[in-house]
Structure 1
């Protein structure tokens, strides 16, 4: 995980990916830096709890969501468009919760790639920043359906940080370590 944090601090932009502008180290709060620094420990602990205590059907969904190895995010990869997405909460109480599919969208403007969860009661909106050829950082903010969407940094209690990986031709996963509510690890699975 230290490698990720050093990548965050060095922040080298890969061609044609996320179009990060070098601002990530300046944007991260100390709390969020610590969450990202503990990503590997958090993932290991949360997944062990989830697999030990989740129903067999939910564990199968979890394992399918995490299947695959990280693929390049540059070289002509275009994530723009509509996605179906679901959240899986691992660790904590309850120790494994799998939500149904909702709608998400990735779009691009001068700031780079942006994610927005469009349906469901719990939503997120934020920007991606390049960490490596196969990983992006996500800085976003949570909000509830009916509220005005927030941006990262507007309300520290709603800040969300994740590491995103492409795990298949049409699959992305975002790993949210130590979310501020309910679980040890949130996984946003995106497919199309």
Structure 2
């Protein structure tokens, strides 16, 4: 099953209602759990899959991190950032970046507003994510929330993997095909930052932020 056929999954963009979905929502849970039962089978190299725009975003990951942290600190979040260097330091990646299959708690932190007047640091509560794998590939799916990503994790090197996917909004029942709409495409680096802790760092997301960070810990 390709990314385009995975059911709704994703994380929240603040301008469209934030993480407003209820964790116990029956409709979102049933859709997400159905998708999680059928992981992606796309095993192509990520460079052959990524759009030109996403390849550019992924190349500029360090620039995005530095700019995002500078804005967040200037906005008053310095204490929070310094209290959790594993999550926020751009050079915190460890070996074995792909999380094992299973259920996860996941939350999104948005760093560095794109526009004047926006919030430079927003940390949302934990929602539900799932990593599924078979002999053909690994998928990451966000099961709850008002925006839910679904996509594929591709091996890159010993310390980082690449996520390419799309985001479903609100009560949408299916996600767009990756590459069809740049505002729905999601691209980021998957890194292990602790014994049982991972993050998906998304440089220059389509809305609001300079960097979105999705934290994952086992449920």
Provide closer, same or farther for how the CA distance between residues 138 and 61 of structure 1 changes in structure 2, counting only shifts above 3 A. Answer: farther
Residue 193 of structure 2 corresponds to residue 164 of structure 1: no
Among 106, 117, 134, the alignment partner of 1:85 is 106
Residue 37 of structure 2 corresponds to residue 37 of structure 1: no
Residue 56 of structure 1 deviates from its aligned partner by 5.7
Distance 1:20 1:171 in 2: 25
Q: How many residues align?
A: 173
Cα deviation code 1:44-96 (max 9, x no counterpart)? 0001111221346643566452368322227xx76110100000000012111
5+ unaligned residues in a row in structure 2: which ranges? 1-40
Which protein is richer in strand relative to its size? 1
Residue 200 of structure 2 corresponds to residue 174 of structure 1: yes
Provide closer, same or farther for how the CA distance between residues 94 and 28 of structure 1 changes in structure 2, counting only shifts above 3 A. Answer: same
Among 113, 118, 130, the alignment partner of 2:143 is 118
Distance 1:71 1:52 in 2: 28
Q: Which has the higher contact order (CA 8 A, sep 6+)?
A: 2
Secondary structure of the corresponding residue to residue 183 of structure 2: helix
1:122, 1:145 within 8 Å by CA — same for their partners in 2?
yes
Distance 2:135 2:165 in 1: 17
| TM-score, reference length from structure 2 | 0.71
* Structure 1 residues 107-146: aligned runs within 5 Å: 107-146=132-171
Distance 2:99 2:146 in 1: 28
2:140, 2:152 within 8 Å by CA — same for their partners in 1?
yes
1:126, 1:151 within 8 Å by CA — same for their partners in 2?
no
| TM-score, reference length from structure 1 | 0.80
Distance 2:181 2:191 in 1: 26
